[in-house]
């Protein structure tokens, strides 16, 4: 069957073959396979199904029909409050499913660790584009709930110098924290800063070590962009925190 490259990958070369996608296997393949099987057994529809390895040793996953929001310009529904609310509920669902399981180990839950519009499948539901699933689970690992929640805030609210209406961003932070029923809202902004700092340092270190994908990301401006986002959140942390409980 013929292969077609899928757009929107920032690290891996992902192709579609019929009703499946193929991704390069990695050190995380075994964990991701177990996690996706676990989510399947529990009937959770927010992730692709893991179907095994193909003859070339690549991961085989189900192709999820819909719109993946990887481009900068997006239909307004992607950035709507309703969309943010639904993303948050999806996150809460898979966190609750994995809480207390072997997959989460000694941590609270399994975190996705790269929740962002570019890793979200949106589909038309009752005539409106809505988030229905997350892809790109290869960074998933045991972790703290607040880490994914903070990543959601950073990526889906777009916290950084592009923000035009800081009050609106602050309101959306509260919306996520409340919709998730996050226990420790005081820790949310420090967790966002932690992610942003960790992210640019991670790209920088991997690029220095010769990782081609990270060299590409750095050349495309990812390090300076994330540093600017970190600085912006730091500068505005008081205004943002005031919205939280
Ligand atoms: N299961 C899937 N269903 C539909 N499209 C997918 C699926 N997995 C990946 N894609 C498409 O392939 C692109 C790259 O996949 P992704 O897993 O995000 O790779 P990367 O690790 O490079 O970011 C996505 O932007 C999306 O368009
Ligand atoms: Mg991706």
Q: Are residues 102 and 30 in the same domain?
A: no
User: What does the block give as tokens for 10?
Assistant: 């920032």
Give yes or no: residues 100 and 203 share one domain.
yes
Instruction: Please give the backbone phi and psi of residue 65, each rounded to the nearest 5 degrees, phi first.
Output: -65, 145
* % of the chain with per-residue pLDDT over 70: 100
Question: Tens of pLDDT along 95-154?
Answer: 999 999 999 999 999 999 999 999 999 999 999 999 999 999 999 999 999 999 999 999
pLDDT at 245 over 80: no
* 132 lies in the same domain as 202: yes
Asked if residue 21 has its Cβ within 6 Å of ligand 1, the reply is yes
Asked if 42 and 99 sit in the same domain, the reply is no
Same domain, 110 and 165: yes
CA 33 to ligand 2 center in whole angstroms: 17
Alpha-carbon gap, residue 114 to 244, rounded angstroms: 23
Structural domain that includes position 186: 67-242
Among residues 62, 86, 112, the one where a domain terminates is: 62
91 with 30, same domain: the answer is no
Compute, in angstroms, the gap from residue 119 CA to the centroid of ligand 2: 5
65-108 pLDDT, tens digit per residue, is 999 999 999 999 999 999 999 999 999 999 999 999 999 999 99
Where is 41: in which H helix or E strand? helix 29-41
| 244 in Cβ contact with 186 (< 8 Å) | yes
Q: Would you state the pLDDT for residue 9?
A: 83
User: Same domain, yes or no, for 20 and 48?
Assistant: yes
Domain end among 40, 62, 84: 62
Q: Kindly state if the Cβ of 119 falls inside 6 Å of ligand 1.
A: yes
Name the closest-CA residue to atom 23, ligand 1.
9
Q: What is the pLDDT of residue 1?
A: 81
Q: Is the pLDDT of residue 27 over 80?
A: yes
SS (H, E, C) 158-224: CCCCCCCCHHHHHHHHHHHHHHHCCCCHHHHHHHHHHHHHHHHHHHHHHHHCCCHHHHHHHHCCHHH
**Based on the domain organization, do 122 and 179 belong to the same domain?**
yes
Q: Is 222 in the pocket of ligand 1 (CB under 6 A)?
A: no
pLDDT at 11: 86
Q: What is the pLDDT of residue 99?
A: 98
Return the pLDDT at 10.
80
The number of folded domains in the chain is 2
The domain that contains 10 carries what CATH number? 3.30.200
Q: Within this chain, do residues 72 and 53 fall inside the same structural domain, yes or no? A: no
């Amino acid at each position: 069957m013929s292969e077609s490259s899928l757009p929107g990958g920032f690290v891996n070369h992902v192709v579609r073959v019929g009703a499946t996608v193929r991704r390069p296997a990695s050190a995380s393949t075994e964990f991701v396979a177990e996690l996706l099987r676990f989510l399947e057994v529990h009937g959770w529809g927010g992730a692709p199904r893991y179907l095994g390895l193909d003859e070339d040793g690549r991961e085989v996953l189900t192709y999820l029909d819909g719109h993946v929001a990887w481009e900068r310009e997006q239909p307004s529904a992607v950035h709507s409050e309703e969309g943010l609310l639904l993303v948050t509920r999806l996150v809460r669902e898979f966190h609750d499913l994995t809480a207390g399981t072997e997959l989460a180990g000694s941590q609270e839950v399994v975190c996705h660790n790269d929740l962002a519009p570019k890793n979200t499948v949106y589909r038309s539901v009752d005539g409106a584009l809505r988030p229905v699933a997350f892809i790109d689970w290869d960074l998933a690992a045991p972790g703290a709930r607040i880490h994914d929640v903070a990543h959601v805030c950073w990526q889906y609210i777009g916290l950084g110098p592009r923000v035009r209406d800081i009050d609106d961003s602050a309101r959306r932070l509260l919306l996520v924290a409340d919709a998730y029923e996050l226990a420790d809202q005081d820790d949310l902004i420090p967790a966002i800063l932690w992610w942003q700092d960790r992210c640019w340092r991670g790209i920088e270190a991997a690029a220095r070590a010769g990782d081609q994908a990270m060299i590409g990301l750095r050349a495309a401006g990812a390090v300076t962009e994330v540093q600017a986002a970190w600085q912006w959140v730091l500068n505005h942390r008081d205004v943002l925190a005031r919205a939280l409980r």
